[in-house]
Amino acid sequence: MAPTLVAHVVADAGAFLKKAPLQEIGSTIYTLKDVVDEIRDKPTRRSLAFLPYQLTFREPHPEHIRHGHPSGTRCRTLAHTDPERIRHVTEFSKKTGDYPSLSATDIKVLALTYQLELEHVGSKHLKKEPEVKVNVHSTQRHPETPVNVAGFFLPSREKKSSESVGVRQKFPDGDPFNSFQFWRPALPTVDKELLQLLDPLEVSDPKEMSSDSFNTFNSFQFWRPPLASIDSLMHLLNLDDVSSSDQRSDEDKENEPEEEEDDDEEDEEEEEEEGDGGWITPGNIKQVKMDSSDWTAPADVTVGCLTTDFAMQNVLIQIGLHVLSVNGMLIKQARNYILRCHACFKTTSNMSRLFCPHCGNRTLKKIAVTVSADGNTQMHFSKNPKVLNSKGLRHSLPMPQGGKHGNNPQLVEDQRFPQQRLSRKARQKTNVFDPDFVSGASPFSQNDIYSRAANLQIRDGQGGGGRRRANPNAAHKKFVKKN
C-alpha cells in the first residue's frame, strides 16, 4: 500500500538537518528563506543544492508588522501573511509559555502553517485559547523557608507563644493541619477503621465477655480473614478416587498416540492459517512501531508542519494543527526531552548545554517530557538508581597539561582551551581554490591518520564537560617519547 501524502507540508530547519525524505511525505513543500539562512551546517547546505523535489518559498504579505521579542531584538518585516494570524500565533505562544523559546523565524513558520490551514481546510477546528492544565504536584521549596542559601537547610523555627507555660495551647484537629500539605498527601486515619471493627462487639464490661467474642477477636480479623481448618479440607482427599483415576489414566495412554497425531495435524493447519501471530518479523516491524508509539500514519491530513522543535510542536498541537515527524508520521502528542538539574531542580530545553545555567554544576540529566493534546505537561523520571552514578569519579584529577595540544578536562563552562589551529605549513598544503579539492564531508575523502592531532587523538570538539570517568586499570601507552 502506497503511503498517504500530505498535500501541503511546511518544513522547518530540523527537517533539512535530519535529512527527512520530504518527497515521500508531502506533495508540495513550503519553507521560508529565513529557514534556509539559519542552516550553517556545510553538508546540509550542500544537500540543499541538489534536492530531489521542488521547494516552494512562501513569503509574507507586504504589510509591515513588528512585535517585541524577549531577546530585545525586533522581528524582520513580515509580509505575505495576515497580521491578525501572526498576532494570533504570537499571543497563543505567550499563553502556552513557549514564546521565550521561539525565534522570529519560528513564529513565521507557525504563521505560515496557520495560514495554509485556513486557506485549504478552515478555522472551525482551530482553538483560540490553549487548554493548559497546570497540575502542581510539589513545590520547589518549603513555603516557610525564609531564604535560599546554597548548601544550607534552614527549617522554620517555632514561634514562642506569649501565654504562660501552664496553659496548654489548643491546636486545630482539622484536615488542613494534619494533611502535611507541604510535604506529602494526608495519611489514612486508623481510628475510624478500628471503631468500625469494634462496633459489633459492643463490649461494656470485660467480665461479661463471652467465649464467642474472644474467638472473634482472636481470628486476626484486623490483619487477614481466618484460615480454614484442616478438618474441613480432609474430604477433598479420597484415596479410592485417586487409585481409580490412575487406572483410567493408564488405559487412556494406550489410546493417546492415534488422537495426538490427529491433533498435531490440526494444530499445524491452525498455525499456518494464523501466521506469525505474536512475533515481530521484518514484515510487521513497521506496524508494531506504529502501535507502540505516539504517532500514526497521516490519514486525511491536508496541511502539516514538519519540525523538531519542542516549543513549536507544543504550540501547533494546542492550536489544533498537524505536526509531522521526520519519518512522515503524524504526532499525536508532543514528547521530547529536556535537561533537569538534580542539584537545583531547574530545567532547560537547550539540549546542547553541558553545565546547569542556574547553579553552574555539571548535574544535568536528560528526562522525557510529554505534552498531550489538551496541554498537559508531564515529566517521566527514571526509577533506575544508576542514573546518578558516581562510578569513576572518585579518582583524583590529572595534572594539568600545557601547550597547544594539552588535553585537560573541562570543569567549568567558561574554561579556556587552546584553539589548536593548523600551522602555516599545513595551511599551505590545503588549497581550497584547487579544482581537484575535495571537501572533508565527501565520502571519498581520506581519513587523517598521520598528523600530530590524529596521533594525539585530538578531535574538533572536547570530550564533554565535567570530570571524565577515570579507570585506573585502563591500558596506557608504553615507551612514550619524552621531550
Q: What are the b/e assignments for 159-181, b being 16+ CB within 10 Å?
A: eeeeeeeeeeeeeeeeeeeeeee
Contact predicate 123/116, CB 8 Å: no
d(CA 196, CA 190): 10
Query: What are the backbone dihedrals phi and psi of residue 177, each rounded to the nearest 5 degrees, phi first?
Result: -80, -35
Task: State the Cα–Cα distance between residues 59 and 79, nearest whole angstrom.
Answer: 6
| DSSP β-ladder status, 347-348 and 295-296 | unpaired
In this structure, the number of other CB atoms found within 10 A of the CB of residue 213 comes to: 14
Residue whose C-alpha is closest to residue 28's, from 11, 14, 3 = 11
Task: Please tell me whether 305 is known to bind a ligand.
Answer: no
223 residue type, one letter? W
Q: Strand 55-57 vs strand 26-31: parallel, antiparallel, or unpaired?
A: parallel
Beta bridge partners of 340: 347, 365
Q: Reduced to 3 states, what is the DSSP secondary structure of residue 330?
A: strand
Which 3-state string (H, E, C) describes 51-95? CCCCEEECCCCCCCCCCECCCCCECCCCCCCCHHHHHHHHHHHHH
d(CA 367, CA 340): 7
Write down the residue that cell numbers 602555516 correspond to. Answer: 424
Please give the Cα distance from 480 to 335 (Å, whole number).
50
How many residues in the chain?
483
Contact 323, 376 (CB under 8 A): no
Q: How many CB atoms lie within 10 A of CB 90?
A: 19
CA distances from 47 to 39, 128, 409, 432, 446 (A): 11, 38, 35, 19, 20
Q: Is 75 annotated as a binding residue?
A: no
Residue 367's contacts (CB-CB under 8 Å, 6 or more residues apart) are 337, 338, 339, 340, 379, 380, 381, 382
Helix (H), strand (E) at residue 30: strand 26-31
Closest CA to 82 of 56, 106, 58: 58
Residue 250 in 3-state DSSP?
helix
Radius of gyration of the chain (CA): 35
Q: Is there a binding annotation on residue 341?
A: yes
User: Using CA atoms, how far apart are residues 336 and 309, in angstroms rounded to an integer?
Assistant: 9
Nearest one of 208, 162, 218, 150 to 359, comparing CA atoms: 150
Which residues fall in the annotated binding site? 341, 344, 356, 359
Which residues fall in the annotated binding site for Zn(2+)? 341, 344, 356, 359
